[in-house]
Amino acid sequence: MGSMEEKLDEQLLILYASQTGNAMDAAERLGREAERRGCPSVSVLSIDEFQPSDLPNKEAVIFVVSTTGQGDNPDSMKGFWRFLLQKNLTRDWLKGVHYAVFGLGDSSYQKYNFVAKKLDKRLSDLGAMAIIERGLGDDQHPSGYEGALDPWMSALWNMLYLKNHKLLPNGSEFVAPDATLIDQPRVRIIYHDAEEGVPPLSTSTDLKYLETQIEMARSMTPGKFSGKNRPDCFLKMTKNHLLSRADSGKDVRHLEFEAVSSSIDYEVGDVLEVLPGQNPAAVDAFIQRCNLNPESYITVQPRDKENHGFLNPSLFPVKLKSFVELTMDVASASPKRYFFEVMSYFAIAEHEKERLQYFASPEGRDDLYKYNQKERRTVLEVLEDFPSVQMPFEWLVQLVPPLKTRAFSISSSHSAHPNQVHLTVSVVSWTTPYKRTRAGLCSSWLASLDPQQRVFIPAWFNKGSLPPPPPSLPLILVGPGTGCAPFHGFVEERALQSKKVPTAPVLFFFGCRNEKDDFLYKDFWLSHSEKNGVLSEDKGGGFYVAFSRDQPKKVYVQHKMRENSEKIWSLLTQGASVYVAGSANKMPSDVLSAFEEIVSKESGVPKEAALRWIRTLEKAGKYHVEAWS
C-alpha cells in the first residue's frame, strides 16, 4: 500500500454535489474548518468542475453529496458518476488515495442517502482507502444534517492527522483564532457612476432592459446559480383559475401564460422554471435595515484573482436595489449557520454577540435549528432580531441565500396551445411550531398575480424526467394531486394525435382527498374517458380516481391500481410505459410496491422476480418517476 506521503498532490480536496445548496454549504464549512486547523492547502469545488481522471493523483479527497428524488444523483454529479462506473477502471485504480464521504439525505425516503452509500462503495471497490466511516446527515434529525456533520467532522480531523501530519501540521487540536478568518469575504463590490449602468430604457425596450439586468445581476454571483442566467423568454399571465373548492383549505390553481418576448417551444413532460418576484416592501426594509443606498450602481467581483476569468468584462453595473431583488432571497429562505457566525463578529451589543456565538457553536446547534430552520426565519427577520449587527454588504452578498428559480411540471401540450404554457400550482402554506403562518414564495406570488396587470415573468424551459411518448406507446399514468399536471398535457397531446393516427390505450390513476374539494380537472378527465376518448375503456384505456377521505377507510391510487391489476398487466405485456408523478414522500415507493404485487399476482412469479422485472423496465427507459418534495 503506497503511503500518503508518496502521493503527488499535497492538497486537501473537497468535492460537493449539491441540488439545493446544502451540500455546498456543508463543503464550504469543511473547507473553513480545515483552514482554521492550519491545513496548508484546501480546495473546495463543485464535482462538475473537477476532472475525474485526476482522482488517482490526489492525496486526500472529501466528498459531500446529497441524494435527490428517488435516490438520484444531483445533476452536477451525473458525469462524474458515469466516469466512475467505467468497466475498464481496475481494482487498484485509486490505490493510495484516501477519501471520506459525507451524505445529505432524509430518512423518511425509501432510498435514504443512497448516493453517499453508492459512492463510498465504488471508491472502495476501486482501491481507495476510507479515512473514516462515511457520515450520513439526516433532515429528520432535530438539528438537520449538522446533527451528524459535527461529530463526523471532529473524528475526521483526528483520523486525517494520524494518516498524514502534513495535512494538519499543527496537530488535530489546533484551531486558529477566528478573527484572522473574518477579514475577507469572497467577493468585493465596486461602486460605479449611474452612466456606466445597464443602458437605460430610452435606448431599448422594457424587456431587453429587464433581460440584461437579470443576466448581469445573476452572472455576478459566482458559484451561486447553475444553468443559464439569461431567461429563455418572458411570460405574461392570461388566466388564473382556482381549481380546488374555495373554502376547502387547499389552494390549487390552473395558470395560463403566453410568451411576450420570443416564441416558445417545449414538449409534454418538460419543466418550466420561473424566477419569482419578491415582496417590494421586504426588499425596501432589507435595504434600509442594512443602511444601503438602493440607487447606487454596483458590480460584484470574486476577490481571489484566480477566479477572475469567471467574470465577463462586458458586465454592466446594475442598480443595487435590482441586484437584491433579482439575486438575494431576503424574505423567504432561512440563512445558514455561517451567517450567524459572521454576524457575531459584527454585533456591537454584548448580549447579541453572546447569543450569536452560542448559536454558531456545537452546543447551540439544536437551539439554532429551532429558532432558524424550524421557524423558517428569513434573513430580514434575523437581522431585525439583532439590531446592533451591521454587516458589510460584501458579506451579505456572499451569505444571503440566493433567489432560486422554482420548477413546475408543464400541464399543457404545445401543439394544443401554440405560444402558451399552462401550470397547475398548489399554493404552499404551513404553520411553524410557534404558530406563525408561512407561504411558499413562488406559488403564493404566482397565485397573487392578476392577468389584467402587466407583469413580466422570467422563465426557462428544461427537460424533466418524463420523456414525451409517441402516439403508438400504451401508457400507464399515476398522478395523485398536482402530480396530474404533466398528464393533463399528455392527454391533450394524445387527443390531438388521435384525430390523425391510431393511438395506443392510456390508463390514468388519479387521487385526491375529496370529490367536491380537490378533484382537479374533473370535467377534462371525464370528457376524455367518454366514448372513443383517449382515456375510454372502449379504446382499451380507463380513468380511475381514488378519493382518500370520502369514506372511513382511506383509499389511495395504489388501491385503485390493485383493483385493476388485470388491465395493468395486459398493457404491460403490450409494452406499455409507466409514468409516475407527484409528491416525493411515500407515494413513489407505495406505487412501486403496488406494481410489484400486480406483476407477481398476474404472472405467477415470486415478489423478488417481479421487482427484478420492474427494474428491467426502468433500465429500458419504460418506468419514469418525477417527484417533488
CB 30 within 8 A of CB 18: no
CB 463 within 8 A of CB 410: no
The secondary structure of 244-305 as a DSSP string is S-TTSS--EEEEEEEESSS-----TT-EEEE-PPPPHHHHHHHHHHTT--TT-EEEEEESSG
Write out the binding residues for FAD.
Answer: 376, 406-409, 440-443, 628
| Nearest by Cα to 94 from 102, 105, 86 | 86
From CA 185, how far away is CA 394, in angstroms rounded?
6
CB 413 within 8 A of CB 492: yes
CB 394 within 8 A of CB 346: no
Phi, psi of 191 (to 5 degrees): -95, 140
Q: 130-167 burial by CB neighbour count: b if 16+ within 10 A, else e?
A: ebbebbbbbbebebbbbbbbbebbebbbebbbebbeeb
Give the number of other CB atoms < 10 A from CB of residue 57: 12
CB 207 within 8 A of CB 456: yes
| Nearest by Cα to 347 from 391, 309, 379 | 391
CA angle 504, 509, 510 (to 5 degrees): 130
Instruction: Classify 367 as helix, strand or coil.
Output: helix
DSSP structural state of residue 52: G
Phi, psi of 65 (to 5 degrees): -130, 140
What type of residue sits at position 175? Answer: V
Write out the binding residues for FMN.
Answer: 18-23, 66-69, 104-113, 139
Write out the binding residues.
Answer: 18-23, 66-69, 104-113, 139, 376, 406-409, 440-443, 482, 548-549, 554-558, 590, 628
Write out the binding residues for NADP(+).
Answer: 482, 548-549, 554-558, 590
